[in-house]
């Protein structure tokens, strides 16, 4: 009888231990689960942080890990979206001049052949201190063709074809009859004008097709703006580069 009682008590005690163990196991399982949820959250946050830093670094071209860029990419700027969907803008030369990098918060614009481009993404070239800053805030079409970056910062292309024309020389030119010379000069002039045109077109195409830049509008000018300006001269360096016509027997 005493033996049976002893066995029953032992069984009860074992049962109690088993229950206790099960409780402990359940609690530690719960602890494990909540720990792993916290770890998962930490992992996601760490991933997001690193991804954000990486993305900022790539988008800012190495400028910042924390989105603190001076020169935001074009698609992060409201002006870019405005230009894309809001239709072209029209600026007078004076208004265009305000977009030369000196007015804070304004994008950088330049114009070629009357078309305005947002070149804010070329800050190192067109911004203050940039090697091509003189192009910002104006239409300097003439300089794009002539390469005279001091004298030719104007949209006036009149007479620019002279840079491609030979200099007359009575002795050499006497090899042609006057009719021949007239025809030759007409041909030379047409070719020279074509070279000016394709030189300018090169730059219009460059800005139009560049993924960095955005066409935003047009320069607004008075109808007779060109006649009001004095006729420009060929810049000195291009005058000096002009050569005499090649002798007929050398052609």
C-alpha–C-alpha distance, residues 108 and 158, integer Å: 27
Q: How many residues does the chain have?
A: 251
12 in the Ramachandran plot: left (φ > 0), alpha (ψ -120 to 50) or beta? Answer: alpha
CB closer to ligand HEM, 73 vs 176: 73
Pairing of strands 109-112, 115-118: antiparallel
**Site for ligand HEM, residues 83 to 122, rule: CB under 6 A:** 122
- Report, in Å, the least distance between residue 200 CB and ligand HEM: 10
CB closer to ligand HEM, 140 vs 245: 140
**Site for ligand HEM, residues 136 to 165, rule: CB under 6 A:** 144, 147
Q: Which x/- pattern over 170-209 shows residues binding ligand HEM (rule: CB under 6 A)?
A: ----------------------------------------
61 binds ligand HEM (CB under 6 A): no
* Residue from 106, 148, 145 nearest 128 by CA: 106
134 binds ligand HEM (CB under 6 A): no
C-alpha–C-alpha distance, residues 65 and 187, integer Å: 59
Stretch that binds ligand HEM, among 82-90, 125-133, 160-168, 223-231 (CB under 6 A): 125-133
Burial of 89 (0-12, 13-18, 19+ CB in 10 A): middle
Return the residue of 8, 28, 92, 131 that touches ligand HEM, per CB under 6 A: 131
């Amino acid at each position: 009888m005493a033996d049976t009682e002893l066995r029953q008590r032992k069984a009860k005690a074992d049962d109690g231990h088993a229950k206790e163990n099960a409780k402990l196991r359940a609690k530690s399982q719960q602890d494990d689960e909540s720990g792993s949820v916290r770890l998962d959250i930490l992992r996601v946050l760490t991933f997001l942080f690193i991804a954000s830093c990486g993305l900022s670094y790539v988008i800012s071209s190495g400028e910042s890990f924390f989105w603190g860029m001076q020169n935001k990419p074009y698609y992060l700027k409201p002006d870019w979206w405005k230009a894309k969907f809001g239709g072209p803008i029209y600026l007078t030369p004076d208004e265009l001049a305000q977009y030369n990098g000196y007015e804070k918060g304004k994008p950088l614009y330049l114009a070629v052949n009357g078309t305005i481009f947002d070149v804010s993404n070329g800050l190192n070239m067109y911004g203050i201190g940039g090697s091509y800053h003189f192009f910002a805030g104006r239409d300097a079409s003439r300089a794009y063709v002539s390469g005279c970056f001091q004298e030719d910062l104007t949209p006036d292309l009149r007479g620019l074809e002279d840079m491609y024309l030979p200099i007359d020389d009575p002795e050499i030119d006497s090899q042609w009859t006057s009719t021949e010379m007239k025809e030759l000069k007409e041909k030379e002039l047409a070719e020279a004008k074509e070279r000016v045109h394709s030189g300018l077109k090169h730059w219009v195409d460059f800005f139009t097709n560049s993924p960095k830049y955005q066409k935003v509008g047009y320069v607004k000018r008075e109808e007779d703006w060109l006649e009001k300006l004095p006729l420009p001269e060929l810049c000195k360096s291009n005058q000096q580069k002009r050569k005499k016509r090649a002798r007929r027997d050398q052609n």
